[in-house]
Structure 1
Amino acid sequence: MFGLFGRKYENPALIAEISSRQERWFVFLDKLEARMQEMTAAAVPELQRVFREDTDPYKRAHHQMVQGLLGQVNQMRNKANEIKDDNIISFVYAAESTIPPITSSAGLAYHGKLHTFRMACLNRHFIFEEKINEAIELLKNAAGEQDLESAYLEELAAFERIRDKFSCRQCGGNITIPKMFFIDTYIACPFCQSQNTFSPSTGARMVLHQARSLAEQRTAHLLRNYEESRPKNPALYRLYLRAMFDEWNRIVPDMAGENEKFYERLLSDYSINHL
């Protein structure tokens, strides 16, 4: 036994298996997240419709629909946990029992590879769990007058928690996401320059769709000032419109260019209709 471990130890099959398992794990979670995103994106407007139209004061139809959707999300969570335990954690323990001890140079290297694999898979699972929690909150809060400000702040906090937890799929180097994105975006690895795809959470994507509504909530007092003016004061409307678009641009700065074109159209239409 000692003679075996004293010789140069190589196990290409284990290296290949580590790489294959990690790739399959990432693809599996990508597919689960895509399915969850599709489900929540379709469910939110339907939940809002059911809530509005349900005459039951206890909103039992809406509650049952939410519970059914939450059950589907939790099934995805349970499936991911099952795969993680069976194909990641158990695999690591079994592999560690077949390689040289960590006290040897060969053993140290292979134990290090297994540790890196385990942490990469657990980190990816952590991101998945964040998205699961965001989907649950999204479904729970879909109906009625939404507190968009709190939801936005929660997304900012969630992003800060995960922005440093990504690894390059090519070299494994740490990648920090420079800012909050709302659509799939390529991020270059600072070490090998490989392009990695960053996919925002469902909640972050919802920020993009809800940005105007949030901006309107923030500036509603200015719109009321205009609507209550007698006669209607165009200067107050222009003040509201500019403030609303400024807030919209602060929430999703990447859309500022398109938003400004939209602002100019609305301002022009208002000026034509109120000559």
Structure 2
Amino acid sequence: MQELQQHLEATEQRLDAFLVKLTQRAQELLNGFEQEAVNIRRNDTIYGQAYSRFLAATRGQVQKLREKVKEVEETQIMPVFYRHCTQSSLAGFSSMVYEWRNRCQAKILQWEEQLYASESAAIERAEWQDYETVFQSHLQQYHAEKEKVYCKQCGAKLAINQVYYYTVYITCTFCQTQNIFNPGTSARQLEDTARKLAEQRSRPVLEQQQFYQQRERDLYMQAHELQLSLIHEKNNQIIKEKQQAIARLEEQRQEAVVKAPQLMEEYHRSVFDELNNLLPDLREHHEKFYRAITTHYQ
């Protein structure tokens, strides 16, 4: 048993060192991405194509790191587990092997979650803009463009009193001619920027939701580790204390399980309330979209 335990510990230590090395590599990669992304986006005049290619290339490099970890799990962790858990001579030690496998997989899962969080945060920082300023600029552009639209029949200036993001018929107040008004790219930019601004304003609620989502996972792993530690425990007092700790962790986890979806619903409502404040003319359109999102999320 001692020889097996030493072998498992050595393998796990190599996994730990490998994950640390890849974490450093990922951080270097994402730091470089952030530094370059600012200049690329500033000078990207071809509808964001240069940045899109750069982002795709970076994501591809990050994905290769994930694949390396998956390869280590498949070639160095699972073969050891299968070999030892099926040997009859080690039947009495199978719980130790299962515990080792679960611990290694938990470390890999935690690494993957941290990498995903780091990648998402780096992209968000690279793409951050002050959408308050951008929105006001697009809104002024839209109003300036609609003031230049005239009736095709009598030449009178058309009265366009609201924001449209789609093609509509506008009746001339002088000759009653139906004119087609196509708001073009300015309205689509306005709607897109309003959504991003609404999300930016609602960000604190989303961060709360992400906190409780992560808290649920952390509490589960803490309880899981305590549960595994009970496998070889013989002291009744320690068993009782750990079981009480597991119960407390589960109670806290259930609170997070309830809180996270509540906050996600609050976030969605906040985003659409902000959208309605920014573009009240499109309230009906926004509310239809909101109902579709909440139905899908539920």
TM-score, L = length of structure 1: 0.50
Q: Name the one with the larger helix percent.
A: 2
Structure showing greater radius of gyration is 2
TM-score, L = length of structure 2: 0.46
